Structure 1
Amino acid sequence: MNVAFTRRRVLQGGAAIALAAGFGNAAGFSAAQAASPILRAGEGLARLAPGDYPETRVWSYGDRVPGPVIRVGQGERLTRRFVNDLPQPSTVHWHGVRIDNAMDGVPGVTQEAVPVGGTFDYDFTLPDAGTYWYHPHNRTWEQLARGLYGPLIVEEADPPDVDRDEVLILDDWRLTEDAQIHEDSFGAMHDWSHAGRIGNWITVNGKGESRLPAKRFERFRLRLINAANARIFYLSLEGMKAWTVALDGQPLDAPQPVERLSLGPAQRADLIVDITAGEGEEAFLTSHEQTRDGEERFAITGFPVTGVARDQSLADPQPLPANPVPALGDLSSARREGLQMEGGAMGRMQGAMMGGGFMAMRDLAGAGKVWALNGRADMPDTPWITLTRGETVRIAMKNDTAWPHAMHLHGHHFRQMVGADIGPLRDTLLVGQGESAEIAFVADNPGDWLFHCHMVEHSAGGMMTWLRVDA
């Protein structure tokens, strides 16, 4: 199946997508490149753009973008000494893991930021199999955009029967015409008050030219991770038959056939994919973007087909083994809380609480705060809510802004409630502009946990709070 796509080669300013014709190797890392006990963050170079552009100056883990794949068996212990060779303090947050609170990597909440030249020892067990990732939680809006992220794969004792297990980390970069990170726009109030930092160059596994050779009827497990600061990826699969088997690391009750999906910042999706394109053809993972001329499709990973794996597709996949996430309690008697999101460009917020008093919107913007949760634009000194360990809580969120928000809860997984229906487990939920969403979870993990928007400019600009689970 050959599909014609719009492809661009010249790096452009603004938020336009710039993709090069042709593909390189999407498998920029592999399970064989297992991480050492040292996880070092530092400055370096990466070949993000095609060869006729210079290498890009980046910040990275283990001298590569993305950082090294960390693969651990379910229930096993992970230890890493983080070494900070960056010019800024930093931490490592293990996104989506139901982790010991002291290891969550949040400055001012679970640890102090690791100073320049300093170290911190992370040591924890991984209760759940699935697809997770790691990234900084200090000046995330800058450090993430410079390339600091990597995949964390927790393997099932009985994994699905596939020919290949591939991790695809999607990102967008804001690059100058000489393929360098656009540093002058870090902290730009337009980004913070609008959609966030949207880049002009998409990479998969750190490559702008992405290709995975395949065979007809070969079966893949594709682990998709959105590591972008703010971009929502709208994706489709061409020349493949696919099922979603897990979201945010947590298995679905039953595999769901999928042709198109959206992936908000920090969200993950595990797909089982059969290549149906014929020999000499090419299957594609494509990104759909709205332009002034309407919707355009961009191939972000190609799967050129050479050879045949078997005579026909395998049987439909079975569900992945469930993780030991506690079941919701009685929802009719569960504690109920509300969370209102306000602010941003084209919003109606006139002001919010900050620093112990009310500040008008103009003064908030001068302090770099343009969003609020429940009328508060700064990180509160006391928890938003305090929960008893083991209790079930329902949180009704109202997005009273003109922008979508990817709401992420640390240390737990929740289910979205839509009427009488209860959705799959997630740790990050995309709440559209003007929409309401209700989630429910069991507060089983003691400690202080962030709840924030993972459009990281929104988080830095006021969309961050925290809750406490008593031991």
Structure 2
Amino acid sequence: MTLTRRHFLKSTAALYLAPTLAQASVNVLEAKVASVQLIDAEFGDYPETQVWGFDGTVPGPLLRFKQGDTLQQTLRNSLPDPTSIHWHGLRLPNAMDGVPGFTQQAVQTGETFDYAFPLKDAGTYWYHSHNHSTVQVARGLYGVIVVEEQTPPDVDHDIVVVLDDWRLDETAQITEDFGAMHDWTHAGRMGNYVHSHLTPSPASVEENARVRLRFVNVATDRIMTIALKGAVGKVVARDGMPLRAPEDLDTLVFGPAERADVIVDITSSEAQALQIVFVERDTGYLLHDIPLSGRRSDPRPPIQPLPANPMRYLTDLSGAREIPLIMSGGAMGRMESATWEGQEMSTRDLVQQGKVWAFNGVVGMPTAPLAELRQGELIRIPIVNETAFAHAMHLHGTHFQEVLPDGGFGPHKDTLLVQPRETREIAFVAETPGKWLFHCHMLSHQAAGMKTWFHVI
């Protein structure tokens, strides 16, 4: 793999976004329009970029809690449009899930909404707008939540790494082409600048230091492939949930909304730095490097699993109800017609309505749920991707496990990247009563039809 310091696309310069840090005591998040000097002066005399951010920053405040704390946050909407907050990956009461028109009403301009729920699970999670999210997330309405273990692992640095891309014009403004049909029918809205944002961002690290990196892909549609240089270690959690057996660290692939925690020990390298590298077509683009300074001499013990969260692990699928999900549509797809709002329509007519993807032949949010589930019921869902594009399937309200080809079960996750023409299967126990979304987290695909829901009773 060739490694270059050239930025991902020639049309953009380096961006800098100022983070904020919030502890659990900070309980008001204001969604508002802000102007931020994204492009550094050394790359030219660019104006400030207008963003939408929680507390006017991108990412929004980093919220840190201890497992067992209660999250209490008031959303104040100072935007020109209604909005909401979805607390991605957290197990919570249905009324707190933050889906407008479904679990709450959209928070209108000038209004507030109070969110409060206990934090059952330690891990790395995130929050984002779930109203017109194709637009609002692309403008910057997201932030990260860290729920610390009661006894965290012994590390020298604990760093959140936010991965994102932006589509900017020549004046460094976010382009307004949010509903471009080419994006919606293909891989989604791809930005022309890929970057990583570190909180905190240390000036240097010692050789042999132990570092926890919490990766979060907040991009609206882009799949991120990430490599680390100058470190060796383990993947210890995925989508917030600890792995029972940490995995050897290799190249990491993140669909939109996926997360992974890694713990690494810093090694001497040719570059004398810990490097975060974005990989595209066998070329690595340097997103961030932290120089080495000094050396720890004390040996570090082997990396151990994180403490388990109070989640049930599946052992077999006896008595499980099977609910198949077939994906169709998009460019080069196999969908000739589909049902939208109770009426069967041709693909040509659906394209005119901006509806181009379907689950089980239904486009968009159906009136009836995909299934009604009894609380405690074991569910298995074979997912068949008949399309030419990958889809990041996200289940609200709980985590699932993948059913592996050998009959075993993968780790707990809330988002699964399903590749083109691929079949994967997930299984979970219906946990909390309410209406729970199940949708593609390629937000362009969701807006263009890839969403459904379960009703747990």
TM-score with structure 1 length normalisation? 0.92
Match of 1:122 among 115, 118, 127: 115
Give, as a single letter, the amino acid of the residue that structure 1 aligns with 2:443.
Answer: V
Q: Partner residue of 1:450?
A: 437
- SS for the counterpart of 2:456 is strand
Please tell me whether residue 262 in structure 1 is matched to residue 253 in structure 2. Answer: yes
Q: Which runs of 5+ in 1 are unaligned?
A: 13-17
Contact 1:66 1:206 in 2 (8 A): no
Classify 1:86/1:31 alpha carbon distance in 2 versus 1 (closer, same or farther; 3 Å): closer
Give, as a single letter, the amino acid of the residue that structure 1 aligns with 2:125.
Answer: Y
Match of 1:48 among 13, 38, 42: 38
- SS for the counterpart of 2:99 is coil
Distance apart, 1:30 and its partner CA: 6.4
* 1:17-416 pair list within 5 angstroms: 18=12, 20=14, 28-29=18-19, 31=21, 36-51=26-41, 52=44, 53-183=46-176, 185-205=177-197, 212-277=203-268, 281-290=272-281, 295-308=282-295, 310-311=296-297, 313-328=299-314, 330-416=316-402
Give, as a single letter, the amino acid of the residue that structure 2 aligns with 1:47.
Answer: Q
- Distance in 1 separating the partners of 2:370 and 2:54: 33
Contact 1:352 1:359 in 2 (8 A): yes
Distance apart, 1:339 and its partner CA: 0.2
- Distance in 2 separating the partners of 1:343 and 1:206: 37
Distance apart, 1:49 and its partner CA: 2.3
Classify 1:164/1:452 alpha carbon distance in 2 versus 1 (closer, same or farther; 3 Å): same
- Distance in 2 separating the partners of 1:410 and 1:31: 26
Distance apart, 1:328 and its partner CA: 2.8
- Distance in 1 separating the partners of 2:198 and 2:182: 26
Q: Which runs of 5+ in 2 are unaligned?
A: none
- SS for the counterpart of 1:468 is strand
Which moved further from structure 2: 252-261 or 149-158?
Answer: 252-261
| Structure 1 ranges of 4+ moved more than 4 A | 30-35
Classify 1:35/1:285 alpha carbon distance in 2 versus 1 (closer, same or farther; 3 Å): farther
- Distance in 1 separating the partners of 2:416 and 2:215: 16
- Distance in 1 separating the partners of 2:215 and 2:8: 24
- Distance in 1 separating the partners of 2:9 and 2:365: 41
Classify 1:329/1:276 alpha carbon distance in 2 versus 1 (closer, same or farther; 3 Å): closer
Classify 1:281/1:394 alpha carbon distance in 2 versus 1 (closer, same or farther; 3 Å): same
- Distance in 2 separating the partners of 1:344 and 1:246: 33
- SS for the counterpart of 1:362 is helix
Classify 1:313/1:452 alpha carbon distance in 2 versus 1 (closer, same or farther; 3 Å): farther
TM-score with structure 2 length normalisation? 0.95
Distance apart, 1:33 and its partner CA: 6.2
- Distance in 2 separating the partners of 1:279 and 1:358: 60
Aligned residue-pair number: 451
- Distance in 2 separating the partners of 1:118 and 1:19: 37
Distance apart, 1:4 and its partner CA: 4.6
Give, as a single letter, the amino acid of the residue that structure 2 aligns with 1:379.
Answer: M
- SS for the counterpart of 1:364 is helix
- SS for the counterpart of 2:87 is strand
Classify 1:148/1:32 alpha carbon distance in 2 versus 1 (closer, same or farther; 3 Å): closer
Distance apart, 1:158 and its partner CA: 0.8
Render the CA deviation track for 1:81-134: whole Å, top value 9, x for unaligned: 100111110000000001110000001110011111111110111111100000
Classify 1:181/1:205 alpha carbon distance in 2 versus 1 (closer, same or farther; 3 Å): same
Contact 2:8 2:193 in 1 (8 A): no
Distance apart, 1:278 and its partner CA: 5.3
Root-mean-square deviation (CA, aligned residues, Å) is: 2.0
- Distance in 1 separating the partners of 2:352 and 2:120: 43
Contact 1:34 1:68 in 2 (8 A): no
Contact 1:278 1:305 in 2 (8 A): no
Classify 1:333/1:203 alpha carbon distance in 2 versus 1 (closer, same or farther; 3 Å): same
Q: Partner residue of 2:428?
A: 441
- Distance in 2 separating the partners of 1:9 and 1:397: 33
Q: Partner residue of 1:15?
A: none
Distance apart, 1:252 and its partner CA: 0.3
Classify 1:355/1:30 alpha carbon distance in 2 versus 1 (closer, same or farther; 3 Å): closer
Give, as a single letter, the amino acid of the residue that structure 1 aligns with 2:325.
Answer: L
